[in-house]
Amino acid sequence: MPPADAPTTATGERFCDVGRSITLCYETFGDPVDPPLLLVMGLGMQMVAWPEDFCMQLAEGGFHVVRFDNRDSGRSTSIGGRPPGLTKLVTRRVPDGHYALADMAADAAGLLDALELAPAHVVGASLGGMIAQTIAARHPASVRTLTSIMSTTGNRWRGQPALGIYRKLLGRAPREREAYVEHVTAVFEAIGSPGFDRDPDAMRAQAALSYDRGTNEAGTARQLGAILKSGDRTAELAAITAPTLVVHGTADRLVRPSGGRATAAAIPGADLILIEGMGHDLPRGAWPRIVPEIVARAQRFDSAPAPA
């Protein structure tokens, strides 16, 4: 554990160039001398979807925590250009030249390199789990341990949404602030955790903060295109050597639990934790299960003797 006076509050937003024409917005928590831990968020979501209290609990566990906006979200670079249309997304015919998960993983690995934090413990949720998996597979020197939360492998027969969810997901978000906030809150009411107490006020506050930081509906479509362009990554995941934890909720209607099971089966030696009643969110009531597992695995890795 860090000393009592070690800083655990947010540093404030900063910007980092990570490659040709890509700048990422990021924020850190904790003491910079502690082992680094990178948080990667999901589809269309901003780094603020990792709640500050969640980040600070990880920092209090003895880690220098970094959260960031993926490309095409929040205050990081918006790629621009016309996104794949609904027909192309449904038929998985993503245009040539469109970026893939490998490019988003290269962004994150580039951030670690630029900040001189590699290798780091890498934790990803949903799309962020796919990115984290890809970092571990393609940039193994950047990853100490991997935690994949509510994510999947890209196999079309695993982790697919419940049919009733599509209507909610495909609805366009309103442009007006209060209507946008209510729209996002309704989506998370549909995909969130029925087995845990919900905090609509906290969800509205997070949605309002995201709106104020800048929304990017076209960017979300491009991120979805990256998932579809990358296809089934099961074979690639077999090359991961980082100690891996897979976390999934039994009540996840967006990425159903078969996605978590497939991820754990694909990565050699991965451990799977299924959390009863958890959906496709990070309910505070599940943190006492999730945070200690992340911290314990990372601490075991950091305390292990280096190979001869």
What's the pLDDT tens digit per position in 34-50? 999 999 999 999 999 99
- In-domain check, residue 176: no
Domain carrying residue 59: 14-161+216-303
Q: How far apart are CA 198 and CA 196, in angstroms?
A: 6
- In-domain check, residue 145: yes
- Rg, Å, the chain Cα set: 18
The residue whose two tokens read 């935690």 is: 147
Tell me the per-residue pLDDT of 107-160, one tens digit each, with 9 for 90 and over.
999 999 999 999 999 999 999 999 999 999 999 999 999 999 999 999 999 988
For the cut 60, the answer to whether the pLDDT of residue 4 exceeds it is: no
Q: How many domains does the chain have?
A: 1
**Residue 150, token pair as written in the block:** 């509510």
What is the percentage of the chain residues whose pLDDT exceeds 90? 75
pLDDT given at position 305: 73
CA atoms within 13 A on the CB side of 297: 25
Among 68-82, 223-237, 261-275, top mean pLDDT goes to 261-275
For the cut 70, the answer to whether the pLDDT of residue 65 exceeds it is: yes
Q: How far apart are CA 111 and CA 282, in angstroms?
A: 24
- In-domain check, residue 111: yes
CB 131 within 8 A of CB 231: no
- Regarding predicted confidence, which is higher, 5 or 211? 211
The identity of residue 221, as a single letter, is: A
Task: Please report which confidence band the pLDDT of residue 266 belongs to, taking 50, 70 and 90 as the band edges.
Answer: very high
- In-domain check, residue 197: no
- In-domain check, residue 179: no
In 62-162, alpha helices (H): 86-91, 101-114, 127-138
Closest CA to 149 of 303, 305, 287: 287
For the cut 60, the answer to whether the pLDDT of residue 7 exceeds it is: no
For the cut 80, the answer to whether the pLDDT of residue 190 exceeds it is: yes
pLDDT given at position 52: 96
User: DSSP strand E in the chain: where?
Assistant: 14-19, 22-29, 36-40, 64-68, 120-125, 143-149, 244-249, 271-275
CATH number of the structural domain spanning residue 286: 3.40.50.1820
Q: Which H/E stretch holds residue 288?
A: helix 287-303
- In-domain check, residue 172: no
* pTM for this prediction: 0.92
User: Sheet harboring 120-125: ordered strands across?
Assistant: 14-19, 22-29, 64-68, 36-40, 120-125, 143-149, 244-249, 271-275
- In-domain check, residue 100: yes
- In-domain check, residue 282: yes
